[in-house]
Structure 1
Amino acid sequence: MSLEWKKYIDDPRQVCKYGGKCYQKNPVHHQSFKHPPNLNKGRVSPRFQPYMRKQKVAHDSFHSKDKEADMIPEQSKRKDDEVGSSTSELKVDNEKFPKDHVPVLPENITFLDVSKDNSVLKDLFLVEMPTDFFKFYEMLGDSLSAIEKSLSSVNLEMIGPFDLLLGKLPKLDNKSLYLIHWRFFYDPPEFQAVLKRKGKSEFHIGYYRDNPDQQPVFVASSDSAKDCHITPISDNLFGAVYQYLQKEKKSSPFVSIACEKLMEKIKKAASDNGYSLEEYNMKKRWAVAVTKTFHGAGIVVPVEKKTQVGYRHLVEKDGKIKQLFTQLENAQSDSDRDRILSELQPVITYANIAVDECDFGTGLELGIDLFCSGLKVLEGNTVCSLTSAYSLLKRDAFAKIIEVHMKYRRRGSNMSILNW
């Protein structure tokens, strides 16, 4: 082995997704990713100006035999929802997964000791929980039965990181599986569910973070059975549940009294601890968010004021991209799918060019939009866009979460890791 190759192998940086065909010139890219030796010797990049001839690129980029990592993969002859009867696949919750996409759980399940240690929670879920998370738990009671009874009376249950406090979090050999414990189909890495409506409902409430190393910016709700939309509710968990109860008490006379009782309890605890019960002010959000994204909660990335480097809009409007996603979902033949994907390809390529020029927010927006499509055919591009954007934005925990989520992504109302 040559010294150059040994140096390359020992380099701890992430491998560039383009490998030996990397066309990128940006120094920030080359500082963040490693490339094989002799990368730039005697090579003329055909993709440095990829859209000088739009029609040719739109066709060649999708049908070329020598596809690169950022290209949408060729379509399988089978439709997304058609799965063969191979013994290498297992059926879970009416879906079929290859064996390596089904988590391996211990034969005899045991549970972690009850803990309120934030360092333990961060080790398991890669983020620290805010103070209101623990205060809310303490408010509900001093026993598991009291806590569960209080929430059950208003059609709620604790999930996710609360399971460690409840003694319900299983011991797992593969620690990455904690990242998908109660992670619903449309939950991006920024959103972490902590409560859900009882039963088969997919309505859930959780914390939304722009950065895994920072405190949540608001508490929001989502219902994966309906769509990918994330609705900010309040600044904290007390306010979010209070707002939920105000609506829930109107739904049925059987829960109205229980809602009123818990609302009074929340009001007192919030006052004692200095938490607001008001709805989240979206004006604060749009003052810092660079774009809404398809889930509607927006994304925040650093943007240099003078040069505006950090984010630029996608090359197509949201309406057009959504239209392409709908057409792709309803395509009846491979030729239709190929045609639609070729229309989508310039959006992906232009976003990659933007990332090369340090507009990392564009790559994040594209990745989130692809994620929100929920389409299997776009999973590879989703992972590629998001892991690259998160890495460049120094949000490595989110990159890890999306990798694990996309590998084990599934639909359903019971997203406990034990429900496989």
Structure 2
Amino acid sequence: MDKPDCKYGLECYQKNPAHKEKYRHPEKPTASETTDKTKTDSTSPKKNDASAASKHRSASPDSSDVFESIKKCKRPPTPEKDHNNDEEKDESNQYYGMTRQRYTLPEVPMDAGMMSDIYDPQIEFSKKAEYKELCEDPKQFIKHKFLVDMPSCFESLWKFCVSKSGEKPEDVFDKFGLRLIGPFDVLAKKFEHAKMHEPGDYLRHWRFYYDPPEFQTVFVKKGTGVHYGYWRDQPDDTSGLMAVNDANKGCEFKLIGENAFDAVIHFLENEVVTTPFNKSQITSMKRSLEEWAKDHNIGLKGGDKLKARGKTVVCKTFHKAGIVVPFDRKKEVGYRELLESDANLKKILAKFDTIDNAPDKIEFDAAMSQLQPIVTAAFIAVDECDFGTALELAIDLFCHGTENLHKVAKPLFVTAYSMLQRPQFIAIMKSHLEDRRKGIDLDLLTK
């Protein structure tokens, strides 16, 4: 078989047998041939020039040496701040105010080897440097990793905990069985000592099986599925509405307050295990929370925000917390009811519980024949600007919990959230469906 010539000729540095097998390489001249060639070249000016050029090449570092030198490089040159980044100057941009470090990569001969082998260590170092920079700014870390802004009561509760225990504020409520988690892990600096993860892992951190994208867990009752968190109808919602769910009982959520203090007090009044030994401690902690809230103008159990939201809910959905979408009641644009009632929809979805859509394709298709008209009607509603209908159906499929309905729910979620301009919820939902875990130990990052 006639092999092509290697473009590097005698100077080929490759040691790979596969390369030798694929390309033809000229044989190296013997010592006597080299001597004769040198004598002949000395009589020709043109040959002398070539010899000088060859000598100049040999004086420079071998490309393989450059390759190895760069691969061993652990750190790039000192980073410099990029002052020409428009994103950081635009106040409306999510990256406003964040300085990004830029690194100058070494100049590498094109024949030094695979570019990915050379640059990957440098890129990895750059990622770690940016991650470290994010860890130094909890607010920006939460924004970038969890895709949301936190309400003011979040930071205020943390300050309360610091006032109680400067060494470990995250453990202030631990003796009552309440644990601060999720974004509180950022304030506790737990991420500084955790390894870097893929973006989706941060979105799944303490995300329980029935938690929709609108919900973000911040407290858990130790050893149970009871968890409290913020409820957001929009990704940028900082109203501070709190909800609670018991993942071991099902998908239903209950809105219980207007800020994080309401949630802790709700726990102390309804969930904590009271004994003669801790009763006075519970009373004292509750009084401290109320006094702190009063001193910092934080309203407790007001209900005004909950009432205002209740007027904008267009339907309850299976999780009972309802959904809020833009709805013109006069023109009846923004939402329409599903093709089937909740009761009938639950009967249809129950047929999927014992079906695996791969081996049981016939049974799955039969069940889908009843569900498909409802799905089609929801997409038609989207075409006519009733975006809430697709979101309601997506939430209902998600809350039903059967994994073989994920592929049916996913396009409904994407369409609804896209039309409602809630892209952060798309990312959260996709990450959750990729690895939707049951159970109560969902600390994915800080173990």
Match of 1:204, SS state, is strand
Instruction: Provide, for residues 255-296 of structure 1, a one-character-per-residue CA deviation record: whole Å limited to 9, x for no partner.
Output: 433321210111111101122221646543331110111111
2:157 corresponds in structure 1 to: 136
**Corresponding residue for residue 144 of structure 2:** 123
Pairing of 1:323-334 with structure 2 (within 5 A): 323-330=347-354
Contact in 2 for aligned 1:116/1:165 (Cα 8 Å):
no
Match for 1:245 among 265, 268, 293? 268
Q: 1:336 to 1:175 in 2, by over 3 A?
A: closer
CA deviation after TM superposition for structure 1 residue 202, in Å:
1.6
Change (3 A) 1:258 1:115: farther
Question: How does the TM-score come out when normalised to structure 2?
Answer: 0.65
Written as runs of structure 1 = structure 2, the 5 A alignment for 1:44-55 is none
1:109-120 to structure 2, matched below 5 A, reads 115=136, 117-120=138-141
Asked which structure has the greater RCO (Cα within 8 Å, sep 6+), the reply is 1
Match of 2:382 among 342, 355, 379: 355
For 1:385, the equivalent position in structure 2 comes to 412
Matched, 1:222 2:245: yes
| Per-residue deviation, residues 334-392 of structure 1 (Å, max 9, x unmatched) | 65444332211111111111111111111111111111111111101111111111111
Q: How far is 1:419 from its partner? A: 7.8
Q: Offset of 1:214 from its aligned partner?
A: 2.2
Change (3 A) 1:250 1:376: closer
Give the superposition deviation at 1:219: 0.4
- The answer to whether 1:174 aligns with 2:198 is yes
Q: Deviations over 1:9-53 (max 9, x none)?
A: xxxxxxxxxxxxxxxxxxxxxxxxxxxxxxxxxxxxxxxxxxxxx
CA offsets 1:177-214 (integer angstroms, 9 cap, x no match): 21111111111110000110113x12111000000022
Deviates more, 1:164-173 or 1:232-241: 164-173
Say if 2:402 is the partner of 1:375.
yes
Q: Which moved more, 1:382-391 or 1:333-342?
A: 333-342
1:256 aligns with 2:298: no
Say which of 205, 226, 229 aligns to 1:206: 229
| Contact in 2 for aligned 1:352/1:363 (Cα 8 Å) | yes
Indicate conservation of the 8 Å contact 2:161/2:169, yes or no.
Answer: yes
Q: 2:325, 2:221 → 1: CA distance?
A: 32
Distance 2:398 2:303 in 1: 25
| Aligned equivalents of 2:354, 2:380: Cα separation in 1 | 29
1:151 aligns with 2:178: no
- Could you say which structure has the larger radius of gyration? 2
- Letter of the 1:125 partner, please give it: F
Q: Determine the C-alpha separation between the residues in 1 that align with 2:277 and 2:271.
A: 10
Query: 1:298 aligned to 301, 322, 326, which one?
Result: 322
Q: Report Cα offsets for 1:272-327 as digits up to 9, x if no partner.
A: 11222216465433311101111111111111243211110100001111122223
Query: After the TM superposition, which of the residue ranges 173-182 and 308-317 deviates more from structure 2?
Result: 173-182
Whole-Å separation in 2 of the counterparts to 1:245 and 1:121: 27
Deviations 1:386-415 (A, max 9, x none): 111111110010011111111111111111
Matched, 1:163 2:190: no
Question: Shift of the alpha carbon at 1:226?
Answer: 1.1
Aligned with 1:347: secondary structure? helix
| Equivalent-residue separation in structure 1 for 2:200 and 2:331 (angstroms) | 39
Number of the residue aligned with 1:364 = 391
Distance of aligned partners of 1:217 and 1:381 in 2 relative to their CA distance in 1, 3 Å threshold: farther
Select 1:315's aligned residue among 339, 345, 351.
339
**Cα pair distance change 1:338/1:280, threshold 3 Å:** farther
User: Percent identity at matched positions?
Assistant: 38
Residues 254 and 406 of structure 1, relative CA distance in 2, 3 Å threshold: farther
1:190 aligned onto 2:200: no
Cα distance between partner residues in 2 of 1:370 and 1:334:
19
Assess if the C-alpha contact under 8 Å between 1:116 and 1:164 holds in 2: no
CA shift in 2, pair 1:144/1:404, >3 Å: farther
Relative distance call for 1:325 and 1:279 in structure 2 (3 A) is: farther
The residue number in structure 2 matching 1:275 is 298
Q: Is the 8 A contact 1:292 1:299 kept in 2?
A: yes
In structure 2, the CA distance between the partners of 1:187 and 1:279, relative to structure 1 (3 Å rule), is farther
2:368 paired with 1:341: yes
> 1:331: Cα distance to partner?
5.6
For the residues of structure 2 that align with 1:407 and 1:305, how far apart are their CA atoms? Answer: 37
Report how many aligned residue pairs link the two structures: 312
**RMSD of aligned alpha carbons:** 2.6
TM-score by length of 1: 0.69
One-letter amino acid of the structure 1 residue matched with residue 371 of structure 2? L
- Separation in structure 2 between the aligned mates of residue 217 and residue 140 of structure 1, nearest angstrom: 18
Whole-angstrom CA distance in 2 between matches of 1:344 and 1:253 = 54
